[in-house]
């Protein structure tokens, strides 16, 4: 699943995005 970083961290925060969560959160 490859999605934009901004969209992933903002909109798809409930999706299993450990990488984005680690970066943003």
Measure the CA–CA gap between 2 and 24, rounded to whole angstroms.
Answer: 16
Q: Are 8 and 17 in contact (CB under 8 A)?
A: yes
The mean per-residue pLDDT over the stretch 10-20 comes to: 57
Average pLDDT taken over every residue of the chain: 57
pLDDT for residue 23 is more than 60 = no
Q: Are 24 and 9 in contact (CB under 8 A)?
A: yes
- What is the widest separation between alpha-carbon atoms in the chain? 20
* pLDDT the model gives residue 13: 54
């Amino acid at each position: 699943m490859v999605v934009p970083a901004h969209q992933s961290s903002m909109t798809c925060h409930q999706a299993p995005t450990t990488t984005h969560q680690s970066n943003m959160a």
